Structure 1
């Protein structure tokens, strides 16, 4: 998520946290200078995969991974709102009016700064179509509201959620988290081996986490059941199978935005997710 601030002779690309990433997106910055007027574009930088879909993993690689400092020359910018234009503050206008101005600015613009597609449709049908095409989900916005920063309820993100079963192979204890569990460490099958697929630290309530901690402590083992090293982890025998919701897989084979939904009532190893060989 980025905001592009365009002024005569100057462009700044700011992250949602206020960091100046102009040097990280030089191609986008260079194109923004050609508009020749003052504006603030609200949108998102993406890197597209071979099917033309935005790829979080590809964007991560372009930026050099977590903590990296590469220049993402291959990134493009999809603008979905216009907050300031030609000396005028547009935030008091409703979304319909702001989009009309943005459409007029970008509808015929070809380059790395592009107009995001706006679709008027039945929400359930559109979400089903987005999920069927492997997209992350949809954003629904109130057309009659002015621009207000933050999660105000004027817009909502509806995700295409995936859910699968994974072994719990360890946990990271905590003195303050629910039930004394900060994170669960998860594994899936790859052939006959167990492979680490990430951890999960959300979705617990205190009662379930306390019960889970007691069950896990009965399964403690001194030897990690996966080829993974990290200090402070209490390893357990791969016996308990958890149902995990997640948004996607990262390029290095880890669950993205995972959330714990509970233990499988049937602890059947055949239910555990199998990674492709």
Structure 2
């Protein structure tokens, strides 16, 4: 059998729920990290949204290779970790996303296990499935994958999206994704066939510097300086974030930022006052914040840190409207 072809994940647009009488299904939006799973020759290979092989980070998912009835396949889904209340938590997933040390991964298998929540199939054996409508791909996925301890195919809902969105709020989830029932899978493209509807506002950001802390954080990072690419691809300053960090996150960030030091700010649009006392770094690390709104000056209001996103490239980071 020929090797499975490489695919890029289809992306969703941020927006409101489609009209109640439109032909959309609704899935829960899982607060994790996207990954394509390639099942081939009895093995599973996991690839992040930006094309990195992340298989080594999630050994408990290896058994998925035996859960497709002997079929080769390319699967799409979200790797999630759960908090103490049993809710998907991006913060809980952070140590798993970045860890590559086999000994530490074995420890994390016990303290922070992950689950691979599958929602699409792109290829089975020698045939691509991306041209099939959403409903047919979902049927094939459900027939193909046998549930296991660390992977599952969550349900989708075809009744009004308002009910599913309300359930997502009640369960403390990130939101829903509305998917057009007749839509094909469009690798690497962002399409209105998939619409993500969030319960909270989040924004991907590029780290361009940091300010030292005060008090108990005097010897570490006090806040991160953040940027977002504008329409011309220039990194524009959008503010700083100083809340939402655990001690472990601050230690990890300090280690990642230390070798990236530079003499000048990487941002456009930062004022002299905003730049006072800052340390600058090469803008190569991507993170994510939660915030309340954009100000008229193009700054994030009340941002809170959620974590690093090694699955995103700095050039992909733009202001997410909706």
**Please, what TM-score do these two structures have when normalized by structure 2?**
0.53
Rounded to whole Å, the distance in 2 between the matches of 1:173 and 1:102 is 39
Q: What is the aligned partner in structure 2 of residue 23 from structure 1?
A: 56
Contact 1:8 1:37 in 2 (8 A): no
Q: What is the aligned partner in structure 2 of residue 231 from structure 1?
A: 279
Contact 2:74 2:123 in 1 (8 A): yes
Contact 2:44 2:64 in 1 (8 A): no
Structure 1, unmatched stretches of 5+, are: 164-168, 189-208, 225-229, 234-253, 264-271
Pairwise CA distance, 1:57: 0.7
Q: What is the aligned partner in structure 2 of residue 194 from structure 1?
A: none
Pairwise CA distance, 1:82: 0.9
Q: What is the aligned partner in structure 1 of residue 139 from structure 2?
A: 100
235, 238, 242: which one aligns with 1:183: 238
Which aligned runs of 4 or more in structure 1 are off by greater than 3 angstroms? 70-73, 169-174, 220-224, 257-260
Contact 2:56 2:100 in 1 (8 A): no
Rounded to whole Å, the distance in 1 between the matches of 2:72 and 2:224 is 52
Q: What is the aligned partner in structure 1 of residue 100 from structure 2?
A: 69
Rounded to whole Å, the distance in 1 between the matches of 2:185 and 2:94 is 29
Q: What is the aligned partner in structure 2 of residue 192 from structure 1?
A: none
Pair 1:133–1:231, CA change in 2 (3 A): same
Pairwise CA distance, 1:4: 0.9
Which structure would you say has the larger Rg? 1
- Residues 38-59 of structure 1: CA deviation (Å, up to 9, x unaligned): 1111111111223322110111
Q: What is the aligned partner in structure 1 of residue 147 from structure 2?
A: 109
Contact 1:9 1:33 in 2 (8 A): yes
Q: What is the aligned partner in structure 1 of residue 123 from structure 2?
A: 84
- Residues 158-178 of structure 1: CA deviation (Å, up to 9, x unaligned): 101269xxxxx999699x979
Residue pairs, 1:194-273, within 5 angstroms: 220=273, 230-231=278-279, 256-258=289-291, 260-262=293-295
Rounded to whole Å, the distance in 2 between the matches of 1:143 and 1:10 is 31
76, 79, 84: which one aligns with 1:45: 79
SS in 2 for 1:19: coil
Rounded to whole Å, the distance in 2 between the matches of 1:221 and 1:24 is 38
Pair 1:110–1:259, CA change in 2 (3 A): same
Rounded to whole Å, the distance in 2 between the matches of 1:6 and 1:222 is 49
| Paired residues, number | 208
Structure 2, unmatched stretches of 5+, are: 1-33, 203-221, 244-267, 282-286, 297-301, 304-322
**Please, what TM-score do these two structures have when normalized by structure 1?**
0.61
